[in-house]
Amino acid sequence: MNESRAAARYARAILDFAVEKKKTDVLENDMRAIVETIGGSKELREMLSSPVLKAEAKKKALLSVFKGCDSITEGLLNLLFQNRRINLLNEVALKYIILNEELKGEGVAFVTTAVPLSGELEKRVLKEVSKITGNKVVLKNKIDESIVGGFILRIGDLQYDASIANQLNTIKREFTKSV
């Protein structure tokens, strides 16, 4: 099974359980903490993906890192360990956040630019994305100088790449095809 599909299934199952227990916001806070912690720690990412470390050592470390989390979150960690899918933790957390925001009628749009968005430009992008999705949207700006200019907009599973780097690659492919 595709890793992304598996993560989406875990996220959907956890969301359904959280809705049943009326803990969707509590779990969203836990998932955001997981994403932030894993994203901010190269060592933690390496530990999760390491085939050398035993699962029990990984489990002990993660349970201590996320000690204050809700029992449902701890159950997710245990389930991922039991099914040998702990490497999906970050992706499951991201998918949970997206699914929960969709449930609340909100969305997250990720826009990658070479330089930070100005306040006015951010408002314009938010307005256009809200028109497209029909939902309230939160904009997250990621800076990546390698795209040279333009932007990459990602909303859920949809992505629009209007970066200069992408346009240059397209021209390069067309040029090499015609030669």
* Residue 67, burial from CB neighbour count under 10 angstroms (0-12, 13-18, 19+): exposed
- pLDDT tens-digit readout, 140-149: 888 888 888 8
* Residue 26, burial from CB neighbour count under 10 angstroms (0-12, 13-18, 19+): middle
Are 79 and 131 within one domain? no
Whichever domain contains 32, its CATH number is 1.10.520.20
Q: What pLDDT shows up at residue 142?
A: 86
Number of domains forming the structure of the chain: 2
pLDDT band at 50 (very low <50, low <70, confident <90, very high): confident
Measured from the Cβ of residue 119, the count of other Cβ atoms closer than 10 Å reads 8
Q: Which domain holds residue 85?
A: 3-101
- pLDDT tens-digit readout, 57-111: 888 888 888 888 999 999 999 999 899 888 888 899 989 988 888 788 777 788 8
Mean pLDDT of 17-42: 90
- Last residue of one domain, picked from the residues 101, 136, 170: 101
pLDDT tops 90 at residue 10: yes
- Last residue of one domain, picked from the residues 101, 136, 154: 101
Are 111 and 55 within one domain? no
Mean pLDDT of 157-171: 87
Are 33 and 53 within one domain? yes
- Last residue of one domain, picked from the residues 101, 116, 137: 101
Measured from the Cβ of residue 132, the count of other Cβ atoms closer than 10 Å reads 15
53 vs 105, residue with greater confidence: 53
Are 28 and 97 within one domain? yes
Are 44 and 84 within one domain? yes
- Give strand pairing partners of 143: 113
Are 165 and 88 within one domain? no
pLDDT tops 90 at residue 11: yes
Are 93 and 50 within one domain? yes
Are 59 and 31 within one domain? yes
- pLDDT tens-digit readout, 21-31: 999 989 999 99
Are 88 and 14 within one domain? yes
Are 71 and 24 within one domain? yes
Are 83 and 29 within one domain? yes
Are 97 and 27 within one domain? yes
Scan for tokens 């800076």, then name that residue.
143
pLDDT band at 171 (very low <50, low <70, confident <90, very high): very high
